[in-house]
Amino acid sequence: MSFFIENKVLKRYTPERGVSEVTIPDDVSIISVLAFSGCSFITHVFIPDSVRKIGLSVFRGCEKLISVSIPEHLKNDFDENFKVYGLSDKVKITVRPAPSAPTKVTPPPPPAPKPQEAKPAPTPPKQKPSRTPKKSEMEMIFLYYKVSEDEDAQIYIENHFTEFMKSLIDKQDSDFIKDIMEHTNFLTCENIDELLDHAVEKVKKGGSFEIQFLLTTHKAKLFGLLDSARK
């Protein structure tokens, strides 16, 4: 087969001996006027989907032509211009349906992530029930003396009072020290200075200033300095 094609325009077809069925190449978009005229031996012509326009008298003189296969978008043109194209009544026009768009295969959705098993919340460490700090033996004796004024308890406290007070200062137990100051006479001019010095050292090591202030105030009372100042 010999096709003369220029810029996608089929300008002329030259038949070959013994060839009766012609398939126009897919890159043709226009078939020019008289392109197949005089091709008396062709019987079948296949026009591809790429063709958009056909010229006048394109098949004039094609005496043995019996069928033309055309794409669906050319049907109206052939209905209106059947004779204009040079076709005889014996030619059967076969209209091919428009090629269906390729089915877009939608990939299956990715599998849903497996729900993560909820991890059991960590068990909070068991908190030991808060306990009131166990009072020392000396503290128990003092509390007993405060309500009973037992003479033996008093003697015992007097003999161990300075060391007992130092332990309270070390523990920063200002409430117990206030209790002693308010309800007993164990703090005297003889032991107040030693205890005040101990409180000062505790403050230097980061202890509270409150106990030092309490002892300083109590010392002033012991020596009558507060009463003199008030007068």
Higher pLDDT, 23 or 102: 23
Q: At a CB cut-off of 8 Å and minimum separation 6, what does 165 contact?
A: 177, 180, 187, 191, 195, 198
State residue 201's pLDDT score. Answer: 92
State residue 102's pLDDT score. Answer: 65
- When pLDDT is cut at 50, 70 and 90, the band that residue 111 belongs to is confident
State residue 124's pLDDT score. Answer: 64
Mean pLDDT over residues 120-145, rounded?
Answer: 66
- Burial bucket for residue 60 (CB in 10 Å: 0-12, 13-18, 19+): middle
Average pLDDT score, the chain: 83
Mean pLDDT over residues 42-56, rounded?
Answer: 92
Tokens matching residue 91: 């030619």
Q: pLDDT tens for residues 149-164? A: 878 778 888 888 899 8
Q: pLDDT tens for residues 164-198? A: 899 999 999 999 888 888 888 888 889 889 999 99
**Sequence spans of domains, the chain:** 2-96, 137-230
pLDDT at 221 over 90: no
pLDDT at 142 over 90: no
Q: How would you list the strands of the sheet with 67-71, edge to edge?
A: 21-23, 44-46, 67-71, 92-96
% of the chain with per-residue pLDDT over 90: 30
Distances (CA, A) of 6 to 25, 31, 32: 12, 11, 10
Tokens matching residue 52: 């958009």
pTM above 0.75, yes or no: no
pLDDT at 117 over 90: no
Task: Let me know: does 13 contact 19? Beta carbons within 8 Å.
Answer: no
